[in-house]
Structure 1
């Protein structure tokens, strides 16, 4: 008997945006929620499934943001929901460092199998990407006995004191919130559109900077996103990351892949590092790992991970059994359902549509990314000035498509659809974005 698959929900705007129920909730939010917590689309979401989110007024939006790459497997994925329901009735918390449980170990096994490289690996779990970065740095410092931490320009690593210091730009993540962490050093990376350098040339530039401005003898780790997220989905030149890993290994520096946004099948490889032939010493995962539940992991070479003394790693909620059960369901689908193939399908459908937009609009200076992690950068062809992406995103939202912005100069539209999005939904969404782009550029 053939399973009957329900048709995917479609985009549908039935009220003005925001509708009356969202407006009422926005007024309540204004009274009791800190104003520093923004909203991009002025609606309140009541439910979501796969690639469609539905607000409290019954408007349905195609979601190209996935909660900034979290619901990669799709909103309310059936197998994740089933796993969570089962787990919540068995065990909600015990603290793994006190009384362990099997799902935590199972996720560590999955990460050992799926992160780049065939060396022995170990993992431990925390709640968020920022925590994963913090702990990756802690481990690297402990292992090397060195203090300095290096990152590259246009990077984003989180909102804690350490990670907001590691970010390339202080606004809005760190402005006025100092003093910031010490011993953090920023170096030029690889941004082919802007620097025009080959991977080898960009690596030589980064290495020279680190040798002269930091000093290798003090450098514990180099933390890099294989594809930069908030920086604008910057894809490094071929050869850059392996060259930097070779330099790090030769100089006793731990090289860390921040795969918080680019990992878990987002790019058509389980981890984006695989696209570049890069085998990092440590890999940081979060966002899409647990299908919408808070979980993050640090996975690395066993000798590096085991350099930390007993009790030196942990946290009350890290590796919560419910989140781990959700992550098990995600990895089961990675292995059974070819989720990387779905990300590759999305690129096959979406990239030509974005290329067509670029042909019509010279303001799109580049279409870039991999898999279901794509972006367009907007530059005024006459002045060379960045074109703000926010008005385009806002116009698309009013027309039923949620799309995020990014970029150091806020001039990038980034696309992070769930792997459950259909080809028709992609086409409809890009059609909406095309209209938003045309209207915004004509009004500028």
Structure 2
């Protein structure tokens, strides 16, 4: 087992990783920018190293500075969390070259799944259903028109190197396709330095369903059920729940088995998430994230399995601590992403938190690295923390969520808590009758 893990991240996920390490008897190193010198994970870690100024490019994305921090402190492994360098294949390779373990999959698999065209082709060969569309990159507009005629309009143009909704454009008609291609290429080039595009059939009202998988170096692959991430704004997840209100046990077991078999065939190592659009009883692959997900706590609440602990064990060469037969799903969990944003315009609201009081009680978990007096810097994402609640069933979970949202106190900055207080009383949400466009429709109707 590792003696010392460097946490190459910040905020709530850095604190989450630190806690798992401490429970395993592993020392931690916190790296931080000058803007995060007073962050909670920095205060609690065994050691801390400042790696640069506030800009993420000069700090959390600064690979030489992180390698230097490893060498200075003697860290023998790095956990990247999510975002930043978590899906950077080159970073994983550089760590390996320096004799430092990357707590994540191989660089080969990060690179493979980072290319959306290659990922789609690969999983299709492994038996995972995919959205109808182009077989590879679209080189010309004429080729795009041909694909659109085969799949039918509307179509979705997507950046091959994309993520987070960038480089994605919908064309409802043939007349809109040329503009969608041009805009997607421009956006993809600016965001990823790669303007390669591909196309898929645009699904009208699908749900976003993702399957959590864990694989070790001993040939074991296990799925931990699904998460429903359909409440989204501009392709960004806002609230997630587990299990999905749209699936039954038979569907869950079937898609979980398909994904597990494919991941085993891929030879994947570590924790990963395979994401799907789900409509009319059919699953269509979107992408695979080769890292820990923001929403991983709801899976932990329902299964009782510590995913970060398993990541660390697997990276150390150990078998995972459970088998598929030992995975027991219990109750229902929902996560709300509490952001420092205006609850209607979603404009970031950095500033100093004057009062901070988290809810508690049975089945309540708050993952956050902030505290009263903490100043939310304007340089990074606006996530304050995650409110996660668990109940014996979905109804109990919803009742608990309503209660905890009214207990949660964050003064000094605007937050998205009022939005969630609205959502938990909406009939469609209460009934679990929503899709990936539902939230944007709701906001448009109520603003």
TM-score higher than 0.5 here?
no
Higher strand share: 2
Which structure is richer in relative contact order (CA contacts within 8 A, separation 6 or more)? 1
